[in-house]
Structure 1
Amino acid sequence: MTTDTPIVHRKTGALPALITLCLSLGVMSFVTAQKAEAAQPMTSTPVTSETLSTRQQAIPRIAAFMATSDMPKLNTALNQGLNAGLTVSESKEILVQLYAYVGFPRSLNALNELMSVVQARKQRGIHDEPGREPGHAIPTGEALLVAGLANQTRISGGPVKGPVFEFAPVINQFLQTHLFGDIFERDNLDWQSRELATVGALAATPGVESQLRSHMLASMRVGLSSAQLRQVIALLAEHGDEQTAKRANAALTQALAASGKGR
């Protein structure tokens, strides 16, 4: 993984540092695959690091506090993320994506909080890098289904099948056209960042342990190392909730055992 260059407080007139985007991604209960950096083809193999960048460290905290609707802590985490180099576009994309995991109400509330944070920082003379919108048009119709199916297959490591999809085939259609299509085709947030957000949100949500375990595996498939994921757990324990960290630790332990990597 190409590590990001941390960015400190950006005042008006200060020259913003460059942010390196590694295109990767995260998703539902079957995820994983890879996009390397924005300028590189999606099929390139990500380079694994042993530590999270300062920018990456902010993402699971933002996600966890969004999932629990803890607005004071979310406010702090959003400020820390912007200070660490997240662009406004990336911050918005994290909160938009997570509606698929924790619901529209929490997503809308979190986006409103981000809007307030950005406005307050601007009033204090802090210039936050706006970032960019997706670099290509999102396909529609049959082309969207084709793109979503390809993304889903790549991230899950093969065709997604199972009793639940036979029982309710429409849910997989929604996954392929919307989650893996509409959302994952948006290249303004790298796949590793999407997985970090998903892990943070699911760890903070009781009752979704199997999906959390799947996303731990997905995180490693998109290039995050077990050491980085243990760092996520430590961050959640330090800045979040004890039960959130315990769920994340159990899921990673199980994922490592399933992948044959042990501890």
Structure 2
Amino acid sequence: MAGKSFSKLAAVMFALLCLGNLARADDMEKLKTALDARQEKIVTIAAFTANGNLPELKTALNGGLDAGLTVNEIKEVLIQLYAYAGFPRSLNGIQTFMTVMDEREKAGIADPAGAQGTALPAGTNRDAYGEAVRMRLSGVTEVPAKSGYQLFAPGIDVFLKEHLFADIFGRGVLEFSDREIATVAALAALGGTDAQLQYHLNAAMNVGLSQQQLAGIISVLEKDVGKNESAFAGKVFGEVLKKRSNINP
């Protein structure tokens, strides 16, 4: 048993080293104090995909392309959101994006495709890779003991590590910070996701987003999505900041 535990820990640490290039890229986000236009559109695309407001999503998708998001970056946002908002909302978002692309092509607008998402290399230890990603998002350097839902329903923990944090987060194209912007916006739009929103607000800061940038997400939600969504996100964000200040006075 001890040998098995050591082997898994070694695999996790190796995966963390492999993620080093992503960590350096995310560290660049610390130099910023506010969301740029591209990031603001990730907020609205994610929020309207999650809440199913397809007319507003269509506007947000056009705005995202105009703001500099590539076609494949938007595809990655829509793909990732199935893990948080479900296949129906994700597929509706993809269908809406297809309509937008058809209309823009007919109007003579040529949008850059950008880099395409790829699967992890064959033979990747997806459990270890996913654990490494989750550790980075959680801001920890050691694998924590399993607890709560991990013990009650271990299957979901496997899916979280091997599918969400390995298969999806490992596709590239988007920085972890961009994926967390999308996730925070989607969870705020869904509502009733206090625990998950707390986790991902912390995760967003752990991968380099500043408090000002997270406040920027809430500002975009208030301006472009709805006051209920922004109020919910603001309440949870306040709780997160209070807890973090108590941990790091």
TM-score bin (small chain): 0.7 to 0.9
Q: Which residue of 2 aligns with 1:46?
A: 27
CA distance in 2, matches of 1:220, 1:153: 13
Q: In the alignment, does 2:149 pair up with 1:164?
A: yes
CA distance in 2, matches of 1:225, 1:74: 26
How high is the TM-score relative to the length of structure 2? 0.85
Aligned residues: 226
- Quick check: 2:43–2:185 contact (8 Å CA) kept in 1? yes
Q: Which residue of 1 aligns with 2:83?
A: 100
- Give 1:131 deviation, angstroms: 0.9
Change (3 A) 1:140 1:152: farther
Q: Which residue of 2 aligns with 1:25?
A: none
How high is the TM-score relative to the length of structure 1? 0.80
Q: Return the match for 2:116 from 98, 123, 133.
A: 133
**Deviates most, 140-149 or 211-220:** 140-149
CA distance in 1, matches of 2:57, 2:120: 30
CA distance in 2, matches of 1:57, 1:142: 34
Q: Which residue of 2 aligns with 1:64?
A: 47
Q: In the alignment, does 2:229 pair up with 1:244?
A: yes
Q: Which residue of 2 aligns with 1:177?
A: 162
Root-mean-square deviation (CA), in Å?
Answer: 2.2
Q: How far does the alpha carbon of each residue in 1:65-116 deviate from its partner, in whole angstroms, 9 at most, with x for none? A: 1111101100000000000000000000000000000000000000000011
Q: In the alignment, does 2:93 pair up with 1:143?
A: no
Between Structure 1 and Structure 2, which shows a larger proportion of helix residues? 2
Q: In the alignment, does 2:171 pair up with 1:189?
A: no
- Give 1:141 deviation, angstroms: 5.9
Q: Which residue of 1 aligns with 2:220?
A: 235
**Deviates most, 72-81 or 159-168:** 159-168
In structure 1, give the amino acid aligned to 2:234: N
CA distance in 1, matches of 2:155, 2:125: 18
Q: Which residue of 2 aligns with 1:216?
A: 201
Identity %: 41
Q: Return the match for 2:98 from 115, 121, 132.
A: 115
Q: Which secondary structure does the structure 2 equivalent of 1:260 belong to? A: helix
Matches within 5 A, 1:11-30: none
Q: Which residue of 2 aligns with 1:199?
A: 184
In structure 2, give the amino acid aligned to 1:247: F
In structure 2, give the amino acid aligned to 1:46: D
Unaligned residue ranges in structure 1 (runs of 5+) = 1-32
- Give 1:137 deviation, angstroms: 4.5
Change (3 A) 1:137 1:73: closer
Deviation >4 Å, runs of 4+: none
CA distance in 1, matches of 2:120, 2:158: 17
CA distance in 2, matches of 1:106, 1:137: 23
Q: In the alignment, does 2:55 pair up with 1:75?
A: no
- Give 1:142 deviation, angstroms: 6.2
Unaligned residue ranges in structure 2 (runs of 5+) = 1-15
Q: Which secondary structure does the structure 1 equivalent of 2:171 belong to? A: coil
CA distance in 2, matches of 1:60, 1:233: 9
Q: Which secondary structure does the structure 1 equivalent of 2:116 belong to? A: coil
Q: How far does the alpha carbon of each residue in 1:219-259 deviate from its partner, in whole angstroms, 9 at most, with x for none? A: 11111111111111111111111110001101111111111
CA distance in 1, matches of 2:191, 2:101: 30
Report which of the two structures shows the higher radius of gyration computed on alpha carbons: 2
In structure 2, give the amino acid aligned to 1:222: V
- Give 1:205 deviation, angstroms: 0.9
In structure 2, give the amino acid aligned to 1:122: E
